Chains A and B, each alone.
Chain A
Amino acid sequence: KAGVTQTPRYLIKTRGQQVTLSCSPISGHRSVSWYQQTPGQGLQFLFEYFSETQRNKGNFPGRFSGRQFSNSRSEMNVSTLELGDSALYLCASSLAGTGITDTQYFGPGTRLTVL
Chain B
Amino acid sequence: ILNVEQSPQSLHVQEGDSTNFTCSFPSSNFYALHWYRWETAKSPEALFVMTLNGDEKKKGRISATLNTKEGYSYLYIKGSQPEDSATYLCAFDASGTYKYIFGTGTRLKVLA
Q: Main SS of chain B's interface residues? A: loop
Task: From B32, B91, B99, give the contact of A56 (CB < 8 A).
Answer: B99
B89 touches A48 (CB 8 A): no
Are A100 and B89 touching (Cβ within 8 A)?
Answer: no
- List B contacts of A101 (CB < 8 A): 32, 49, 51
Residues of A within 8 A of B42 (CB): 108
Q: Chain B residues in contact with chain A, CB under 8 A?
A: 4, 31-32, 34, 36, 42-46, 49, 51, 89, 91, 93, 96-105
Cβ of A55 and Cβ of B43 under 8 Å apart?
Answer: no
Interface size on A, as a range, is 20 to 34
A21 located at the interface, meaning its Cβ lies under 8 Å from any Cβ of chain B in the complex: no
Question: Which of A11-19, A37-45, A69-77 lies at the interface?
Answer: A37-45
Chain A residues engaging chain B, CB cutoff 8 angstroms: 3-4, 31, 33, 35, 40-45, 48, 55-56, 58, 90, 92, 94, 96, 100-101, 103-109
Chain A to chain B: the 7 pairs with minimum beta-carbon distance, closest first: A42-B102, A43-B102, A106-B43, A100-B96, A42-B104, A48-B98, A106-B44
**A54–B91 alpha-carbon span in the complex (Å):** 21
Q: What are 10 A-to-B residue pairs whose CB atoms are below 8 Å? A: A3-B43, A35-B102, A41-B104, A42-B89, A43-B89, A48-B98, A92-B98, A96-B98, A100-B96, A106-B44
